[in-house]
Chain A
Amino acid sequence: MLEKVYEIFHEKMKDKGQGMGIGSALTSEFLMIAFLIIGTILALRTANSTILAFGAIIILAAILFTVPTVFKVEKENNDSINLSSFYVALTLALLFIIFLGGI
């Protein structure tokens, strides 16, 4: 299993250094997965256990389908000004929805 994952990362990171690079990419991959699981538990624990169970299953499925997530995260965090603008607009809207909508 792990060898397979290593192969995938090896394929994806041909131009970005090997060995330690892949090691750190794997670390960040595990960190992302841990964050997604812990975030789901944190967000849904307050609701109720049925929602928690379903939400956890959905998130696990999502993780299985999106692995490796690291490269997607990296793609979303480039230096482009347009992407930052999009996220700023999104955040502004989100803040107003949260505070004025009273979620």
Chain B
Amino acid sequence: MLNNSTLIPLMVVLPLIMAILVNFLHQKDKSVKFISIVSLIVFVIVPVVTLYGVHLFSGHLRTGSFPEISKMLIPEVYMGIVYSYGTLQKILMLVLTIITGFSVLTVINKKMISGVYVAMIFISLASTSAIMLADDIFNFFVFTEFLVVAQAALVIAVQETKSFKAAFKYMIFGTISGASILLGIALLLGSYGLLNITDLSNAIAAGGQLNSIGLSAVALLTLGWLYESGLFPFHIIKSNMYENAKPEISALLQVQSKFVLVAMAIILFRVFSGYALLKSVMLGFAIFTVVIGSVMALQQIELRKLLSYVAVSQAGLVAVGLGLGTSFGIAAGIFHAVNDVLSMAILFFVASFVYDKFKTTNLDQLREGLHIAPLVGFVMLLATLAISGVPPFNSYQSEWRLIQAATQAGLPELGILVILLSVATFVAIIKAFYMIFMRPGPEVEVNTEVRGTMTKAIIVILIIACLGIGLFPNVVYDPIYNFVLSLGV
């Protein structure tokens, strides 16, 4: 396990280098296109060929015990950033890079290519991978800040007033959450003198009961977690971001925020292992987000807004699994994150197709789409079934495990709530499906230039992936479950 794997930092460094490179190549569209396609292939290959292990930047493996608490002598502090790469990171990295690739391909196909735009996508990819890999709490913080700026820049690039407003709100609250994460880190550093997550977790576990400084740090970091994953008080801001980005970028943004949710929750569980109240609080916020998200999704008459709220409520469902706190629940939550990201990406790509083809995503103005795009309609129907947990698809497997985990954790009521929520999600999206594709009425204006071959290929590939995971869930689920067991939270 502890081999010093040199390829691990490439997952963060390569996207950053490529971002700088394509940023310089502004307005040279052909070279940007070439470089992005080549680098995307490399980004997908790197997680596959990397060996599991840890990478130590300028550090050495700690031998022996961790330092005494509250004693900040320099020789005893373990400096140097550590990245660790396990099975969970491999699965998440693969899904993330593949969906990033699909997003960039759609962007290229739409002739919206621009060096800065692709650079921002690459920076957000690098930040998300660093957040998932980092075993160092300050490195994690730095990349969350990068992620906020890059995501805001992706939304700003739409150049509409609403997107400016959404990005401004996102950055204002990003300041609060960034400050609260850093303050939490500062409190931990002050009382334990450590930044490495493994060491910190050992030190806190050895220290016994958390004192009031540690508890304040828990509160502050929890606020940061709520912001990064778009749970309750920040759900409006997050759904505004999804709604006002281009739909193919929203497909990327929701992947990033769900994976950051998982990564940061795992960091919190590892650092404050044995502190049960944290998990209950997470569960409370998660349930609230899920319900509010579904209720809001049911009210919408605009496709992108509807999908945004569905994405937020599904993020809440992932957090429900994590908040249950048993290893079965955590594994089910992470598995649901992977599944949900795939089916949600299909829906956002469909929204992208609809937006290009019919020039609007307002459901009141759309009708009779099935004659124009039968394949897209069929795939959207399948994706709707997938996201609401209908058996042959992947979400069924994870939601079934979520309900089982809730029952095992002694909260069978949560199982009922999860079933109700999948029904609500189904109603919300099937309403959109009916209004776009089935509703009779006069012909709508169609942009005949848009053929959407790329989008169609992407959604077909993704729905096949959904079906594959649904038929063989253990290929994905077993590594996740073993990883969660090895965490021992």
A residues sitting closer than 8 Å to B (CB atoms) are: 16-17, 20-21, 23-25, 27-28, 31-32, 34-35, 38-39, 41-42, 70, 73-74, 77-79, 81, 84, 87-88, 90-92, 95-96, 98-100, 102
Considering the complex, which residues of chain B in the window 393-442 have a beta carbon less than 8 Å from any beta carbon of chain A?
Answer: 411, 413-414, 416-417, 420-421, 423-424, 427-428, 431, 434-435
Whether A84 lies near B291 (C-beta < 8 A) is: no
Chain A interface, DSSP helix/strand/loop, else mixed: helix
Bound CA–CA A32/B421 (angstroms): 10
Other A-B pairs beyond A31-B295, A77-B235, A77-B296, 12, CB < 8 Å: A24-B428, A24-B431, A27-B298, A27-B427, A31-B294, A38-B413, A42-B413, A42-B414, A74-B295, A74-B299, A79-B165, A92-B223
Whether A70 lies near B295 (C-beta < 8 A) is: yes
Q: Which of B186-194, B210-218, B336-344 is the interface stretch? A: B210-218
Please give me the residue from chain A that is nearest to B226 by CB atom.
A91
Q: Which residues of A contact B298 (CB under 8 A)?
A: 24-25, 27-28, 31
Whether A99 lies near B277 (C-beta < 8 A) is: yes
Bound CA–CA A27/B173 (angstroms): 32
- Contact pick for B301, options A16, A23, A79, CB 8 Å: A16
Considering the complex, which residues of chain B in the window 167-202 have a beta carbon less than 8 Å from any beta carbon of chain A?
Answer: 169, 172-173, 176, 180
Contact sample, A vs B, 27 pairs, CB 8 Å cutoff: A20-B434, A21-B301, A24-B299, A25-B299, A28-B294, A28-B295, A28-B298, A28-B299, A31-B291, A31-B294, A31-B420, A31-B424, A34-B417, A35-B420, A38-B414, A73-B292, A79-B240, A81-B169, A84-B233, A88-B233, A91-B226, A91-B233, A92-B223, A98-B219, A99-B222, A102-B215, A102-B277
Q: Which residues of B contact A95 (CB under 8 A)?
A: 219-220, 222-223, 281
Considering the complex, which residues of chain B in the window 216-247 have a beta carbon less than 8 Å from any beta carbon of chain A?
Answer: 216, 218-220, 222-223, 226, 232-237, 240
Bound CA–CA A32/B232 (angstroms): 15
B residues sitting closer than 8 Å to A (CB atoms) are: 165, 169, 172-173, 176, 180, 212, 215-216, 218-220, 222-223, 226, 232-237, 240, 277-278, 281, 287, 291-292, 294-296, 298-299, 301, 364, 411, 413-414, 416-417, 420-421, 423-424, 427-428, 431, 434-435
Bound CA–CA A25/B299 (angstroms): 6
Q: Which residues of B contact A78 (CB under 8 A)?
A: 236
Bound CA–CA A24/B292 (angstroms): 14
- Contact pick for B281, options A25, A27, A38, A98, CB 8 Å: A98
Please give me the residue from chain B that is nearest to A101 by CB atom.
B215
Bound CA–CA A81/B419 (angstroms): 33
Q: Give the shortest distance, in Å, between B363 (CB) and chain A (any CB).
A: 8
Q: Give the shortest distance, in Å, between B32 (CB) and chain A (any CB).
A: 34
